Amino acid sequence: MEAKKRTCQVQLTADGRLKHFLGIQGLSQALLTEILDTAESFANMGEQAVKKVPLLRGRTVVNLFFENSTRTRATFELAAKRLSADVLNLDIKTSSTAKGETLMDTLQNMEAMHADMFVVRHADSGAAHFIASQITPRVAIINAGDGRHAHPTQAMLDMFTIRRHKGSFEGLKVAIVGDLLHSRVARSQIRALSTLGVEEVRVVAPKTLIPTGIDSLGVKVFTRLEQGLKDVDVVIMLRLQKERMSGAFLPSENEFYHQYGLTQSRLRLAKPDAIVMHPGPINRGVEIESAVADGPQSVILQQVGYGIATRMAVMSMAMSGQLQERSQ
Ligand code: CP
């Protein structure tokens, strides 16, 4: 409860508007819905002749990715450019971080260049919260994934995808399948799905990949894929996150695919109009069969596209809250 209160105090203005976007925990259904509705207003921008609105004109956004990324980094850059911001992508591999400069010094140097927003991906859980609360509180901080903790913009683009396909969250059964233990995406998705009012969130994984106490988040736990998939509306597959595994959690990838891989025949256990999602990157033949990833029920590439509109929504709302706070 205390952690929830602290995160809310840091990411919201006194009147409850976003000024940073650090995590889903503690955000209201009304605020999550406002993000989705704002994203909806940007959703068709990619098809327009001029793909720009002036909401962040004159503002400087710095992408700080201390961990690898394809989708998140690229869509944040496009989102910032479509909002007319000036965008700087700091290349961490060739930056002075390699000479031993601390995170705090790097960020304070960026702040000295009058940056207005940092988009941060970091291997340490809590990094975005620490930056927003302790290092640069007057720069809007957007969490682009921190350790195992949270990936809130991924969760919101996933919610956007579900609402676009299913119309609303009411009555939906959603199964999240795979490496729950190391997944920041799953933690954020579970919070968002619960807040938005789905009927049932299921998590499906071998016992070794289920975090202790996950049922306290209100999910139903399944260790057999066939049972977990039965009659669900949405299947979300997760990647085995080997970069965060420090021991042997599975006999082998082959064995994992044999028991938990989403194949065409297993997908038939879900509702006939179920959609298949995956935050990416996908590992074909490890968690998902190619025929499913590329099949008619897959919305995996749509998720990526919706990431731009969703990130535009979060960035514009946080910048607006941050400017309100700075003016007081
Ligand atoms: N979904 C996701 O975070 O992908 P990237 O690691 O490529 O950004």
Residues 20 and 116: beta-carbon distance below 8 Å: no
Position 181 scores a pLDDT of 94
Rounded alpha-carbon distances, angstroms, from residue 91 to 67, 106, 119, 144, 161? 11, 12, 13, 16, 30
Q: What is the mean pLDDT of residues 154-181?
A: 98
Strand-by-strand arrangement of the 60-65 sheet: 86-90, 60-65, 117-122, 140-146
Residues 313 and 53: beta-carbon distance below 8 Å: no
207 and 267 in a single domain? The answer is: yes
115 and 166 in a single domain? The answer is: no
| Domain contains 102 | yes
Token pair, residue 171, equals 């009555």
Ligand 1 pocket test, candidate residues 64, 69, 310, most atoms within 8 A of CB: 69
What DSSP character marks residue 131? Answer: I
162 and 295 in a single domain? The answer is: yes
177 and 312 in a single domain? The answer is: no
Q: How far does the centroid of ligand 1 lie from the alpha carbon of residue 146, in Å?
A: 12
| Domain contains 167 | yes
Token pair, residue 83, equals 């909002």
Please report, for the domain that includes residue 49, its CATH number. 3.40.50.1370
| Domain contains 327 | no
- Report the Cα 97 to chain-centroid distance in Å: 25
**Which atom in ligand 1 lies closest to the alpha carbon of residue 68?**
6
State the burial class of residue 290 (Cβ atoms within 10 Å of its Cβ: 0-12, 13-18, 19+): exposed
Instruction: Assess whether 114 carries a catalytic annotation.
Output: no
Q: Is the CB of 243 under 6 A from ligand 1?
A: no
pTM exceeds cut of 0.75: yes
Catalytic residue among 60, 72, 195, 310: 72
Residue 284: Cβ within 10 Å count: 14
| Domain contains 170 | yes
Q: Is the CB of 307 under 6 A from ligand 1?
A: no
77 and 192 in a single domain? The answer is: no
158 and 296 in a single domain? The answer is: yes
Query: What is the secondary structure of 34-58 as a DSSP string?
Result: HHHHHHHHHTTGGGSSS---STTTT
Query: For residues 139 and 116, what is the distance between their CA atoms, to the nearest angstrom?
Result: 5
**Does residue 141 sit in helix, strand or coil?**
strand
Position 328 scores a pLDDT of 83
> Does 125 score more than 90 pLDDT?
yes
Query: For residues 50 and 230, what is the distance between their CA atoms, to the nearest angstrom?
Result: 45
Query: For residues 23 and 247, what is the distance between their CA atoms, to the nearest angstrom?
Result: 28
| Domain contains 270 | yes
Q: How far does the centroid of ligand 1 lie from the alpha carbon of residue 15, in Å?
A: 32
Ligand 1 pocket test, candidate residues 71, 119, 151, 160, most atoms within 8 A of CB: 71
> Does 9 score more than 70 pLDDT?
yes
For atom 1 of ligand 1, the residue with the nearest CA is 279
State the burial class of residue 180 (Cβ atoms within 10 Å of its Cβ: 0-12, 13-18, 19+): buried
Q: What is the mean pLDDT of residues 49-71?
A: 96
| Domain contains 24 | yes
Catalytic residue among 13, 17, 38, 71: 71
Q: What is the mean pLDDT of residues 157-162?
A: 98
Question: Angle at CA 280, nearest 5°, toward 278 and 285?
Answer: 80
Query: For residues 240 and 282, what is the distance between their CA atoms, to the nearest angstrom?
Result: 9
Residues 202 and 228: beta-carbon distance below 8 Å: yes
| Domain contains 118 | yes
209 and 311 in a single domain? The answer is: no
φ and ψ of 47, to 5 deg: -90, -5
279 and 314 in a single domain? The answer is: no
Q: How far does the centroid of ligand 1 lie from the alpha carbon of residue 71, in Å?
A: 5
Position 252 scores a pLDDT of 81
The neighbouring-strand residues paired with 200 are 173
What DSSP character marks residue 298? Answer: B
Cα torsion 146, 149, 152, 156 to 10°: value is 140
Instruction: For residue 54, say if its preceding peptide bond is cis, omega within 30 degrees of 0.
Output: no
pLDDT band at 277 (very low <50, low <70, confident <90, very high): very high
Domain membership of residue 316 as a residue range: 2-150+305-322
313 and 256 in a single domain? The answer is: no
| Domain contains 328 | no
Position 248 scores a pLDDT of 66
144 and 21 in a single domain? The answer is: yes
156 and 296 in a single domain? The answer is: yes
**Which atom in ligand 1 lies closest to the alpha carbon of residue 151?**
3
Instruction: Assess whether 122 carries a catalytic annotation.
Output: no
Instruction: Assess whether 93 carries a catalytic annotation.
Output: no
205 and 240 in a single domain? The answer is: yes
Q: What is the mean pLDDT of residues 157-177?
A: 98
Q: How far does the centroid of ligand 1 lie from the alpha carbon of residue 326, in Å?
A: 32
Residues 119 and 22: beta-carbon distance below 8 Å: no
pLDDT (tens digit per residue) in 176-198? 999 999 999 999 999 999 999 99
Give the count of domains, the chain. Answer: 2
Q: Is the CB of 154 under 6 A from ligand 1?
A: yes
pLDDT (tens digit per residue) in 42-57? 999 989 999 999 999 9
